[in-house]
Amino acid sequence: MSSNHVYPRTAGQGQRSWLCRDDLDRERLLEMDVELRPLRRKSLCLLGIGIIASGPWIGWWPVAFIVPAGLCYGAADVLMFRSPRPEYVMLAGWLGAQLVISIALALVGSFAISAIALLAIPVITLGSRFPLPGIVVGVAATIGLMIAVTFGFHTTEVLAEPTLVIAPVALVLAVAVMSIPLMRSDIQHRSDAVIDQLTGMLNRKALSTRSEELAQQALISGDPVGMIVGDLDHFKQINDTHGHPVGDSVLKDVAYLLRKQLRAFDLAYRLGGEEFLILLPGSDLERAVELAERLRERVSAEPLGAGVPVTMSFGVSASSRGEPFEYGVLFAEADAALYRAKQTGRDHVGLAETDAELPAVM
């Protein structure tokens, strides 16, 4: 990845974490987790089949450990969309599954030495989710578990034949090293494809993928999803009066102000021109309206760009708890609410399913 690559500012009041540097990292983590779920289930099934096939020699009881390993991943799948730091939840789920597998290996006797290399399999998925710090933590934890299982339960065998632990550790390191360039290439291509180059926000292509993921997640969790559509007022006049460079500067500043007010797992998109969209997992209509009003106040509170006064109108909609998230329906409602806000006099917040408007704070 080139050193001059520019990442968008992180959502959640500009906060970042050591696992996710920006919106793009979180978007990539959430998207890849959805892609990996069916493959992860198949891998656990294959691991179970392998244990069953080895049952005459080691017993069939280790199959029971497949269930808690799967539960670690399943809990992370649900909780990560409710957490302000979904990357921590996902890493915790991954580490929990590795720990469960390690405990199972520690209890199967001498078979653990030949099977310890199985811990290298989940390492393959680290690079598809996390940047380098996450890979380092996952690899270090895996090697630590390997050493604990082999030396802690089979000290005599390992001291007599150190290659029993050296070989699987080398395998884990090799898998991790090979995954790093793939991770960097994926981040580069993903950024080029889904990032609006002017504002650093996610674009329509990223929105299409994310809306499908949110629909799946809403079916699992039953949580509502809020949507805010915003549009700068009289933006054409800004371009005509002050020039397009000033207009571009205004768009950048507005994008930054919007992102600063969001939680880490909220996602902001530039739809094109002066129109923006924000998705709010777990937020009902009331919370979405409160955020939209706060955004409206922040945009109008200070001159942007080259000191140009700017106002913004918003339309808000949200799915109800327990109901499916239908992007097309919510967008139509939010867009209609935005139109009403514009017709009311601009610098307003329009609500879906009602003609009432929140009063503008001047």
pLDDT tier, 359 (very low <50, low <70, confident <90, very high otherwise): very low
DSSP states of 324-358: ---HHHHHHHHHHHHHHHHHHTSS-EEETT-S-EE
With a cut of 80, say whether residue 18 has pLDDT above it.
Answer: yes
Query: How large is the average pLDDT for residues 263-277?
Result: 90
> What is the per-residue pLDDT for 47?
81
pLDDT tier, 93 (very low <50, low <70, confident <90, very high otherwise): very high
Question: Which pTM value belongs to this model?
Answer: 0.56
Q: Between these two residues, 7 and 28, which has the higher pLDDT value?
A: 28
Query: How large is the average pLDDT for residues 2-14?
Result: 33
> What is the per-residue pLDDT for 233?
94
Annotated catalytic residue, options 31, 87, 274, 293: 274
Q: Give me the phi and psi of 41, to 5 degrees please.
A: -65, -40
Q: Between these two residues, 54 and 160, which has the higher pLDDT value?
A: 160
> What is the per-residue pLDDT for 318?
94
With a cut of 50, say whether residue 361 has pLDDT above it.
Answer: no
Query: CA 273 to CA 277: how far, in whole Å?
Result: 12
- Coil, strand or helix: which one is 271? strand
Does 274 participate in catalysis according to the annotation?
yes
Question: Which residues have CB under 8 Å from 217's CB, separation 6+?
Answer: 81, 223, 281
Nearest to 122 by CA among 103, 99, 104, 105: 99
With a cut of 50, say whether residue 7 has pLDDT above it.
Answer: no
**What H or E segment, with its residue span, contains residue 137?**
helix 132-153
Query: How large is the average pLDDT for residues 272-298?
Result: 94
Q: Between these two residues, 62 and 280, which has the higher pLDDT value?
A: 280
Q: Can you say whether the dihedral through the CA atoms of 334, 336, 342, 345 is positive or negative?
A: negative
> What is the per-residue pLDDT for 330?
95
> What is the per-residue pLDDT for 360?
42
With a cut of 60, say whether residue 2 has pLDDT above it.
Answer: no
> What is the per-residue pLDDT for 29?
80
Q: For the ranges 20-24, 44-48, 67-71, 349-353, which has the lowest average pLDDT?
A: 20-24
Residue extents of the structural domains in the chain: 23-194, 204-354
Query: How large is the average pLDDT for residues 6-27?
Result: 57
Query: How large is the average pLDDT for residues 325-339?
Result: 94
Query: How large is the average pLDDT for residues 126-144?
Result: 91
Question: Which residues have CB under 8 Å from 70's CB, separation 6+?
Answer: 41, 44, 97
Q: For the ranges 33-42, 170-179, 334-343, which has the lowest average pLDDT?
A: 33-42
Superfamily of domain 204-354, CATH level 4: Reverse transcriptase/Diguanylate cyclase domain (3.30.70.270)
